[in-house]
């Protein structure tokens, strides 16, 4: 008996380091967020319990909701433009035989690099005089598209440009997942459809799309979660542009820098809840779609 | 027959044009970045004209006048430090230079802000960025954080994964599901309580950062390694046990070598995560000697807004090692980065 409990202790000690670090840096902070969100704390004075007033402040704060709008705006572009582009590229690369490795390597280079590098590089290219040099405008002028030249990071376009740069950084990631999904589809299905005389559109509609639904749902959920939490690239690219491209996490970050810990936690809790609801909703919807269109078990 | 062939070729051409244009849009900014990093700010901002365009008398005139500025690193070119074409025209008129239009044309063409190859491979930008601006330190800091964190994660998560897969102890499944749940729940402001906590424990230093980053990669690594362990046969471990190995030695001598492929994915996923991490590092490290590369880059670009060529070389210093590593280990990188997605 004592031998077996010693044995079990030995076994348990294998997970002990992981468990200790996990408890200190995940479980404790997880609950600590909720505690802090009911407090007024600035790192110096003792925390004061102030009830729901942080949450009240967040929920009635116009700037918070405008930052949520900005996040949703960028997410909308990532969901549509980025993912459709990635899907088309994946379909294309799946079909070509030559160069397909080259394309894969190039497309996946951007997701590897840090958000700061991407943000600063695009800032160099897009910003106009006197701070920048209008590089991008010069390029399109050389291509004969000079009439499109704009002050890309000016108040008029900055939000859309930020969204597009985000898509530019992220499409490679969605592309790789779509491509992996496409290559998992058994080749016999296509052959059978070909023998039955199905048109390309029918093959796409009846084989490719339904078999990819789980992958598409996964990419959509991860896009929402990732984009709503992205902010380092935007900080590097625009620094918030006076609120025009301020996203929720940037607001939380800035509040923490201004030592408004309770408020930052309140915002974090609200954003986290919204994200959980949205991602569960998405999974639910995709499950319904899968049931309705009767996808083959894979 | 012919019809289908033609159709196929047309489709392929359209396809390649589309793919190629997207690929170019990915590569061009980086080409520009590396190209500009070799230029001086003067060369970047201004046009230049080869000396041999001028006759000796003209050259004499230009060099003795103050408006011509010769690039020290290259004796073949003249670089004018003027901000607009009109200004150069006026100055050339003042000096009574013939062929004004020809010179202006060359000047205009060479003033392209970075797409032309640099006049010479001049490394002064890199020297300044790396040594004077302290990027060597940021770089070594990033290497340190990444290396230590990844070592921690590999050892701690493989120990735990081995236990979850092979050993029995009370609460095994509950604890494993707890780690799983941590992966699923989005914590958009997770850095806030962690930072407050580190402040409280006086851990706003290298140790605290490494520990916090270790925790970030733990759940996914444990999950990946555990599923890999589950697929392996137990025979080798049984043999080792019969030979009298204790559990720790079985983990080290049998378990770890067997999961080496999965370890590669874990290492790359976590190394990239730590290397690219910005939020927590920027909150914790305000002292320059502790900053990792991402924070250093951000600070540097805020300080040097108009030094475009310096910023380009700083960006190259930060990006190129990763790009080169990626080109060497593409397969592992792709697996490593999509591993997180595939779990869901």
Asked if residue B89 lies in contact with residue B97, where contact means CB atoms within 8 angstroms, the answer is no
Of B29, B186, B189, the CB nearest to A225: B186
The A residues from 170 to 229 touching B (CB cutoff 8 Å) are 172-173, 176-177, 180, 218-219, 221-222, 225, 228-229
> What's the distance, CA B241 to chain centroid?
45
Number of folded domains that form chain A: 1
> Does the pLDDT at position B149 exceed 90?
yes
In a domain, A253, yes or no: yes
Q: What angle do CA A48, A54, A55 make, to 5 degrees?
A: 140
- How far apart CA A155 and CA A244 sit, in angstroms, is 7
Phi-psi region of A234 (alpha: psi -120 to 50; beta: other; left: phi over 0): alpha
- How far apart CA A283 and CA B142 sit, in angstroms, is 37
> Does the pLDDT at position B75 exceed 80?
no
> What's the distance, CA A113 to chain centroid?
15
Asked if residue B65 lies in contact with residue B95, where contact means CB atoms within 8 angstroms, the answer is yes
DSSP state of B70: E
In a domain, A36, yes or no: no
Of A19, A256, A272, the CB nearest to B188: A272
In a domain, A124, yes or no: yes
Structural domain of residue A262, as residue ranges? 60-293
CA nearest to A30, candidates B192, B221, B343, B172:
B192
- Measured between CB atoms, does B31 come within 8 Å of chain A? no
In a domain, A171, yes or no: yes
Q: Starting from the edge strand earliest in sequence, which strands make up the sheet with B77-80, in order?
A: B48-50, B77-80, B68-70
The B residues from 187 to 226 touching A (CB cutoff 8 Å) are 187-197, 199, 211-212, 214-215, 218-219, 222
> Does the pLDDT at position A143 exceed 90?
no
- Measured between CB atoms, does A86 come within 8 Å of chain B? no
What's the pTM value of the predicted model, to 2 decimals?
Answer: 0.89
In a domain, A131, yes or no: yes
Higher pLDDT, B58 or B135: B135
Kindly report the CATH number assigned to the domain that includes residue A233. Answer: 1.10.3720.10
Higher pLDDT, B68 or A103: A103
Inter-chain CB proximity A8 and B308 less than 8 Å? no
B82-102 residue pLDDT tens = 666 777 777 777 777 777 777
% of residues, chain B, pLDDT over 70: 89
In a domain, A168, yes or no: yes
Q: Is the Cα torsion angle B58, B64, B68, B74 positive or negative in sign?
A: positive
Asked if residue B281 lies in contact with residue B141, where contact means CB atoms within 8 angstroms, the answer is no
Chain B, nearest residue to A217 by Cα: B344
* Domains along chain B with CATH numbers: 41-122 (no CATH), 129-343 (1.10.3720.10)
How far is CA B80 from each of CA A232, B46, B65, B94, B166, rounded to the nearest angstrom? 38, 6, 12, 15, 72
A195 to chain B, minimum CA–CA distance in Å? Answer: 17
- Mean pLDDT, all residues of chain A: 88
ipTM reported for the complex, 2 dp: 0.89
Using a CB-CB distance cutoff of 8 angstroms, which residues of chain A are in contact with residue B164? 15
Residue length of chain A: 298
- Measured between CB atoms, does B174 come within 8 Å of chain A? no
Inter-chain CB proximity A168 and B25 less than 8 Å? yes
In a domain, A33, yes or no: no
**Tokens for B97?**
């230079």
Which residue out of B166, B171, B186, B271 would a mutagenesis test of the A interface target, given it has the greatest number of A Cβ atoms within 10 Å?
B186
> Does the pLDDT at position A1 exceed 60?
no
Q: What angle do CA B76, B78, B81 make, to 5 degrees?
A: 150
Chain B, nearest residue to A181 by Cα: B342
In a domain, A8, yes or no: no
């Amino acid at each position: 008996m004592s031998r077996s409990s010693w044995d079990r202790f030995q076994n348990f000690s294998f997970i002990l380091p992981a468990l200790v670090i996990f408890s200190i840096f995940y479980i404790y902070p997880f609950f600590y967020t909720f505690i802090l969100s009911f407090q007024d704390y600035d790192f110096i004075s003792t925390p004061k319990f102030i009830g729901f007033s942080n949450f009240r402040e967040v929920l009635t704060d116009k700037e918070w909701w405008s930052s949520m709008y900005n996040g949703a705006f960028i997410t909308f572009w990532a969901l549509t433009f980025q993912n459709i582009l990635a899907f088309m590229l994946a379909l294309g690369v799946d079909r070509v035989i030559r160069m397909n490795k080259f394309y894969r390597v190039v497309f996946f280079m951007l997701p590897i690099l840090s958000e700061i590098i991407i943000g600063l590089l695009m800032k160099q290219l897009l910003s106009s005089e006197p701070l920048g040099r209008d590089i991008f405008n010069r390029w399109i002028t050389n291509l004969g598209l000079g009439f499109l030249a704009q002050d890309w990071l000016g108040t008029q376009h900055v939000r859309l440009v930020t969204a597009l740069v985000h898509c530019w950084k992220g499409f490679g990631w969605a592309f790789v997942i779509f491509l992996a999904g496409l290559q998992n589809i058994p080749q016999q299905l296509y052959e059978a459809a070909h023998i039955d005389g199905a048109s390309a559109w029918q093959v796409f509609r009846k084989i490719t799309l339904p078999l990819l639904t789980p992958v598409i749902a996964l990419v959509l959920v991860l896009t929402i979660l990732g984009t709503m939490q992205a902010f380092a690239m935007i900080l590097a690219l625009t620094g918030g542009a006076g609120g025009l491209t301020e996203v929720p996490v940037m607001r939380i970050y800035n509040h923490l820098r201004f030592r408004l810990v309770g408020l930052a936690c309140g915002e974090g809790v609200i954003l986290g809840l919204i994200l959980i609801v949205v991602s569960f909703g998405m999974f639910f919807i995709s499950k319904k779609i899968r049931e309705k269109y009767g996808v083959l078990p894979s | 027959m012919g019809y289908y062939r033609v159709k196929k070729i047309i489709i392929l051409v359209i396809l390649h044009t589309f793919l190629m244009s997207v690929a170019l849009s990915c590569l061009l900014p980086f080409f520009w970045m590396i190209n500009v990093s070799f230029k001086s700010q003067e060369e970047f901002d201004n046009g230049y004209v080869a000396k041999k365009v001028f006759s000796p008398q003209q050259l004499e005139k230009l060099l003795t006048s103050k408006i011509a500025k010769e690039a020290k690193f290259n004796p073949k070119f003249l670089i004018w430090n003027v901000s607009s074409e009109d200004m150069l025209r006026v100055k050339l008129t003042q000096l009574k230079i013939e062929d004004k239009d020809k010179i202006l044309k060359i000047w205009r063409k060479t003033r392209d802000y970075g797409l032309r190859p640099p006049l010479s491979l001049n490394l002064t930008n890199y020297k300044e960025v790396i040594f004077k601006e302290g990027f060597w330190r940021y770089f070594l800091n990033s290497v340190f954080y990444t290396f230590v964190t990844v070592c921690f994660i590999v050892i701690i998560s493989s120990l735990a994964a081995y236990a979850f897969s092979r050993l029995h102890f009370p609460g095994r499944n509950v604890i494993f599901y707890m780690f799983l749940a941590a992966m699923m729940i989005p914590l958009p402001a997770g850095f806030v309580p962690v930072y407050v906590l580190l402040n409280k424990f006086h851990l706003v230093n290298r140790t605290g950062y490494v520990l916090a980053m270790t925790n970030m990669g733990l759940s996914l690594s444990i999950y990946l390694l555990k599923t890999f362990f589950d697929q392996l046969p137990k025979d080798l471990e049984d043999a080792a046990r019969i030979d009298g190995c204790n559990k720790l030695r079985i983990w080290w001598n049998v378990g770890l070598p067997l999961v080496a492929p999965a370890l590669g994915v874990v290492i790359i996923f976590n190394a990239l995560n730590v290397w690219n991490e910005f939020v927590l590092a920027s909150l914790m490290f305000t002292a320059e000697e502790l900053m990792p590369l991402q924070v250093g880059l951000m600070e540097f670009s805020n300080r040097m807004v108009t030094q475009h060529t310096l910023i380009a070389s700083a960006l190259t210093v930060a990006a190129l090692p990763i790009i080169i590593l990626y080109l060497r280990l593409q397969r592992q990188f792709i697996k490593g980065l999509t591993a997180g997605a595939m779990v869901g």
